[in-house]
Structure 1
Amino acid sequence: MAIARDQDVELTVTTLAHGGLGIARLDGRVVFVSDAIPGETVRARVTEQKKSFWRADTVEVLEASPHRREHIWAEASIERAPEDRAGGADLGHIDLSHQRELKQQVLRESLARFGKVERDVPVEPVTGDTGVNGLGYRTRISLHVAGGGTVGPYAARSNRVIPVQSLPLAVAEVAEAAPLAEKMVGVQRVDVLLAAEGGARLIIDEQAPSPIVERVGEREFQLDDGGFWQVHRSAAQVLTDAVQEAIIPERFDAAAGNLDLYGGVGLLAAAVGDRFGERTRITSVESDERATEHAAENLADWLGARTVNARVDRFLVDLEGAVGTRGAKGATVVLDPPRSGAGREVVERLASLAPAQIVYVACDPVAFSRDVGTFAELGWRLEKLRAFDLFPHTHHLEAVGTLVPIDA
């Protein structure tokens, strides 16, 4: 029987794909299903039909998983039509501990498929999150504005603005400052953020940046209010601790040409310096000019620290061609690429420079696994791995892995 787009079908979901969608099969065809949990049978509406797969949205749960809960965000619930569901909390209908089990499975399967590595580690909760059901952790929220001035998040997998009355993942100060009830005609985007000082603030479209201060322990970091900083209130501390733990001390040489690649405002370079002392040599490389300027200020405590404003791939080409230096030989490299991963070119150039160890901070399990697979082809192994639930009620996770040469 031919099935048309917008037709309802009955599906049994077997597993969770990277991206938070359930996987089901219909007449042998893969169907990616939103708002479903592995083990459930649902009635779903077909929304997209490609040659290799279809997409569908759950409209009714016929046989519910024991892990299903009332959605933490009423505006994202399946009680609403799929096109009217707010995006940004795609696992909000699943028990929090089971969310972490599903993310663990996604990381494990990604590593096996793309990295050819058998590794299974728990996705660790951030202290304090479990007791509040993973709510109220975001210090940064991006909202969008419809043509008539309505403010809200986009619908899932859409650029349609959804009016909402609440922001359950935001810290209280951000939720209170968000202009959800206002009409903002002529505006396209509103970012709401809470820094360590000064209370919550709004950033309207691409207004001129203002400096803010964030803190990790006793250390302060300067950055622009529109610049990148982790959204979870505790993420910067969690990743600082994780990177420090991931570095194998016996393989660390403070005098080597240590690198912090995709370094941002210097958070992880500072983590290395705090672990191994003020004379640690480390170069933080970042393509954003303003972030590099802030990194120079933030790393001023370390005599051996310097910052370079450059694309990582071009920096590595220059480093490879440098004459009369050790380059990165014997160095420790912290690698924190964007969601798309470092990619083959960067991995190949980095491996050719013969560092002693690479600490890879990853926000995408598939991109990370692909890069791990490339490193393996080049004679490296994944020595250590941890994973963290820095984005409760979403499919995102953060992983920190240590790679060393196979013959090490």
Structure 2
Amino acid sequence: MSDLLELQLGPIAHGGHTVARHEGRVVFVRHGLPGEAVRVRLTEAEEGKTFWRGDVVDVIEASPARRPHVWAPADALAAYAEGRLPVGGAEFGHIELAEQRRLKAAVVREQLARLAHLELDVEVEAVPAEAPRADAGTADDGGLHWRTRCSFAVDGDGRLAMHAHRSTETVAVHDMPLAVDAISRLGLWGVDLAGVERVEVAAPASGTSPLVVFTLAEELPSTRLRELVEGVDLGASVSAVGPRGKAPLTLRGHGSVAEEAAGYHYTVTGEGFWQIHRKAPETLMEAVLGAVGPVLGAGATAADLYAGAGLFTAPLAAAVGPSGFVLSVEGSPGTSRDARRTFKRHRHVDVVQGRVERVLRQHSGERFDAVVLDPPRAGAGREVVRQLVDAAPGAVAYVACDPASFARDLGWFLEAGWRLEWLRAFDLYPQTHHVETVALLRPGR
């Protein structure tokens, strides 16, 4: 069988694929658009599998929503023509922004219908990286320059690189148009990174000092470490993580960055979690407070589950005041340490590091007026949903980065008699298939 097929692309599917069929078998195709006629290079095509995967390498009949790709290394058509794989991280870069959002909304609707048995109209809201100009006439900003965090690989020649999708192959990169300008100005594109395995970069939207973290592939002499530091723009802090997972060693500046959102201040280390879109913290904070704010007040109790560095813990603490109480739970030790540093002077905030279901068991019998639930991509899971159903808080704000796991969890809430009051979806990852949602859930009457 040839690994090159001519296919008619069907609807969009969760994960950034369109659905096509070949001789009755489903083929999940990346880098296409619904309705297009294309040539597809199969990337996974084992005979025993119920579905195959492939990439578009040529377009026979293009969708009106197709445009030139925003980033050459991620352009599948150009990549295959050059005999290489496209990098991940911008798989929707060939699609007009308005169409990207329509496709993401379709995925959210489909997942809600299939997994939560809920028919709901959904619109994905644009979140410009910069405030639109008065004369712009649109909320779109091109969907570029929004990433405040980037993770890079290093190729065999010691150059900054990124991985191809579902592959160990690396492709050297010389720019990153999705990143904020502060990352581009660091000068990493021309640095000799021999001996480095991975490079993490954080550039706070507040404009404070960026942080570059080198993960070393081997122990390096001090002279080599000095060369790495000198290759990075002087305005940035630099840390290194040894090859055996030791604690980061600060080589210059600080081992953390200072983040700010809606007037609240946070400390986040290189290993800590923070929302990557420069406007995401304020956008999500506004939506979450719109959900749980009405049930909070002085003396109220709240829980921030999967709290990260405490993005939502801070406004919850302000809402309940010193006479209230906020439980902030995070599983990652490093990120939890960040939160403890941020809230060490807040006596009414208890920052706990551990699995959410274990901490909730320890607090069983305690009723919270409001809960913020912001789990990782895998979702909260049946046990956490069951515990929240039993606890019956006044309101739950569910922040989700994956529509499938959210719809699954939502289905369990609905089965228990809860109701979905509203749901908002935000385009916090332009040029990718990812979408963020915030939902307000309440116990049944």
Structure 1 residue aligned with 2:284: 239
- Pairwise mapping of residues 334-349 of structure 1 onto structure 2 (< 5 A)? 334-349=372-387
Give the corresponding residue for 2:65: 67
Match of 1:141 among 142, 150, 153: 150
How do residues 3-402 of structure 1 correspond to structure 2 at under 5 angstroms? Answer: 3-4=1-2, 7-50=3-46, 51-77=49-75, 78-81=77-80, 83-128=84-129, 130-177=139-186, 179-195=188-204, 196=206, 198-205=208-215, 206=241, 207-208=248-249, 210-247=255-292, 249=294, 251-252=295-296, 254-299=298-343, 302-320=346-364, 326-327=365-366, 329=367, 331-402=369-440
Distance in 1, Cα, partners of 2:184 & 2:422: 37
Q: CA deviation at 1:186?
A: 1.3
**What secondary structure, in the 3-state scheme, does the structure 2 residue paired with 1:395 have?**
coil
- Which AA in structure 1 matches 2:124? V
1:153-182 deviation line (CA, Å, top 9, x unaligned): 111221211112210101111022152233
Q: 1:279 to 1:197 in 2, by over 3 A?
A: farther
List 4+ stretches of structure 1 deviating above 6 A. Answer: none
Report the AA paired with residue 314 of structure 2.
Answer: A
Amino acid paired to 1:215: E
Can you give the 5+ residue segments of structure 2 that lack an aligned partner in the other structure? 131-138, 216-240, 242-247
**Two-structure CA RMSD over aligned residues (Å):** 1.9
**Cα distance in 2, alignment partners of residues 83 and 242 from structure 1:** 42
Query: Aligned partners of 2:441, 2:20: CA distance in 1, in Å?
Result: 35
Counterpart Cα distance in 1 of 2:187 and 2:272? 19
Q: Identify if the C-alpha distance between structure 1 residues 76 and 292 changes in structure 2 by more than 3 Å, giving closer, same or farther.
A: closer
SS at match of 1:242: helix
Relative to structure 1, the CA distance from residue 62 to residue 55 in structure 2 (aligned partners, 3 Å threshold; closer, same or farther) is: same
Contact 1:151–1:161 (CA<8 Å) still a contact in 2? no
- Shift of residue 285 of structure 1? 0.9
Decide whether aligned partners of structure 1 residues 379 and 227 sit closer, same or farther in structure 2, where only a CA change above 3 A counts.
same
Partners of 1:391 and 1:19 in 2: CA distance: 13
Q: Which moved more, 1:174-183 or 1:223-232?
A: 174-183
- Does the C-alpha gap of structure 1 residues 220 and 70 become closer, same or farther in structure 2, counting only changes over 3 Å? same
**2-structure distance, mates of 1:239, 1:190:** 27
Number of aligned residue pairs: 396
Counterpart amino acid of residue 214 in structure 1: E
Give me the whole-angstrom Cα distance separating, in 2, the residues matched to 1:220 and 1:337: 22
Query: Match of 1:98, as an amino acid?
Result: E
Deviates more, 1:147-156 or 1:22-31: 147-156
Asked if the contact 1:383–1:401 (Cα under 8 Å) also holds between the matched residues in 2, the reply is yes
Over 3 Å counting, the alpha-carbon distance change for 1:390 and 1:278 in structure 2 is farther
Letter in 2 for 1:13: L
1:197 is displaced (CA, Å) by: 5.1
Q: Give the Cα separation in 1 of the matches to 2:121 and 2:195.
A: 49
CA distance in 1, matches of 2:25, 2:316: 48
Larger deviation, residues 100-109 vs 254-263: 254-263
The alignment's TM-score, normalised by the length of structure 2, stands at: 0.84
The whole-number CA distance in structure 1 between the counterparts of 2:87 and 2:357 is 37
Indicate conservation of the 8 Å contact 2:271/2:334, yes or no.
no
Q: Deviations over 1:36-71 (max 9, x none)?
A: 001111011122124210111111000000000000
Once structures 1 and 2 are overlaid, which stretch shifts more, 207-216 or 33-42? 207-216
1:292 Cα deviation after fit: 2.6
> In 1, distance between residues paired with 2:425 and 2:140?
20
1:254·1:281 contact (CA, 8 Å) conserved in 2?
no
* Residue identity opposite 2:56 in structure 1: T
Distance 2:53 2:426 in 1: 29
Please, which moves more after superposition, 174-183 or 239-248?
Answer: 174-183
Q: C-alpha separation between the residues in 2 aligned to 1:253 and 1:348?
A: 26
Distance 2:299 2:358 in 1: 23
Please state whether the residue corresponding to 1:177 is helix, strand or coil: coil
SS in 2 for 1:132: coil
